[in-house]
Chain A
């Protein structure tokens, strides 16, 4: 069994999928994922050689999603309420041009949520993404941190094999992480 936390397991899974660059849009929930990604890349304080902050989820699809055009592969770490910001880029760029990318997003708006409005975008996000033809893999308290690591890593392979973005949604409620 992995001795990693769920957040660390997600980060390890991202690196295991052989990414060249990672871009992130922070949330309090994925902050421990980002910290571990940066630490494993030899950086600190949210920045390392291959892990960088980006200003918006749409921009992340452009910057990271373009890497396969140069023979490289990347991952985006974000929160699920940001899919409203990037679905035009995901469809007209990533899907239309057959460009693989791994996206790991934490979920909000369900169990463990305090915010009274975030469910209005987060709750329909998986159905919306699937409706657009994007594969969505959901992780939560019912599987181990080791399963999170393995699943995230294989999701990266799946993106490369199918030439499209693959999205892993992680619910941290009742894991060792926090929702918000």
Chain B
């Protein structure tokens, strides 16, 4: 499976959950699958998705939001692997990271990452996350369902093939429009109304 097919599957499964999405091709392709209010596209800030998802999972404590999902790539997670020990240490119940691992920097000419020699799922496991592994639609669906219902930080390591979708337009929006849209959706979802600030 390629990234675009994985994103179609993830989009189908996450209609009611906050989804923080890593930069470049991943955000672009997810927005092409469907642009939804629960999507927070991190247009740059490579490596920060897991940290943002951790903050939002902490903020969602006590709510009925089952999980805050961070959607990362292997190259991006290698840029800030601190996400894994910090998530394991803080251990927010609602933190869920999905790693789409194609073993390359997909937005950077498919240059290989460390992922063919270093297992990010094993690092997550060693850091205290509950880890599931998948490499096709059936295994993704069953591991996703299991991890969605597991308290504490959960990590779904999905192996995909390299390759970007063609003819997907760039995301050329002002980031603050993403903030306003996602914030209105998420604060409403948390039951706090749509107040823009704390």
29 contacts between A and B (CB under 8 A): A20-B59, A20-B198, A54-B86, A55-B82, A55-B86, A58-B47, A58-B48, A58-B80, A59-B80, A59-B82, A62-B55, A62-B80, A63-B86, A65-B52, A66-B59, A67-B59, A68-B183, A69-B52, A70-B192, A71-B192, A74-B55, A92-B43, A93-B48, A96-B43, A98-B179, A99-B179, A100-B198, A160-B198, A163-B197
Q: Which residues of B contact A100 (CB under 8 A)?
A: 197-198
A67 to B53, CA, bound (A): 10
Docked-complex contact B42 and A70, CB < 8 angstroms: no
Q: Mark B168-189, 1 if CB is under 8 A from A, else 0.
A: 0000000110110011001100
**B162 interface residue per 8 A CB criterion:** no
**A67 contact set on B, CB distance < 8 A:** 55-56, 58-59, 198
Give bound CA distance, A54 to B55, whole Å: 11
CB-CB under 8 A for A89 and B59, given A63-B54, A68-B183: no
Please name all residues of chain B whose beta carbon is closer than 8 Å to the beta carbon of A74 when the two chains form the complex.
55
User: Does A71 contact B48, Cβ atoms closer than 8 Å?
Assistant: no
Q: Which residues of B contact A (CB under 8 A)?
A: 40, 42-45, 47-48, 50-56, 58-60, 80, 82-83, 85-86, 89-90, 175-176, 178-179, 182-183, 186-187, 190, 192-193, 195-198
Whether A68 and B48, one on each chain, are in contact in the complex, defined by CB atoms closer than 8 angstroms, is no
Query: Are the C-beta atoms of A62 and B48 separated by less than 8 Å?
Result: yes
- A24 interfacial by beta-carbon distance below 8 Å: no
Task: Decide: A71 and B198 in contact? CB cutoff 8 A.
Answer: yes
Residues of A within 8 A of B (CB): 18, 20-21, 52-56, 58-59, 61-74, 88-89, 92-93, 96-100, 160, 163
Shortest distance from the beta carbon of B116 to any chain A beta carbon, whole Å: 26
What's the minimum C-beta distance from A179 to chain B, rounded to whole angstroms? 28
Q: Which of A18, A54, A63, A71 contacts B52 (CB 8 A)?
A: A63
The complex places the Cα of A107 from the Cα of B182 at a distance, in Å, of 36
**Residues of chain B contacted by A53 (CB below 8 angstroms):** 89
Q: Which of A21, A58, A97 has the most CB of B within 10 A?
A: A97
Using CB atoms, name the residue of chain A closest to B193: A71
Apart from A62-B48, A68-B183, A70-B186: 7 A-B pairs, beta carbons within 8 A = A59-B83, A65-B55, A66-B52, A68-B179, A68-B197, A89-B48, A97-B175
Cα distance, A1 to B47, chains bound together (Å): 45
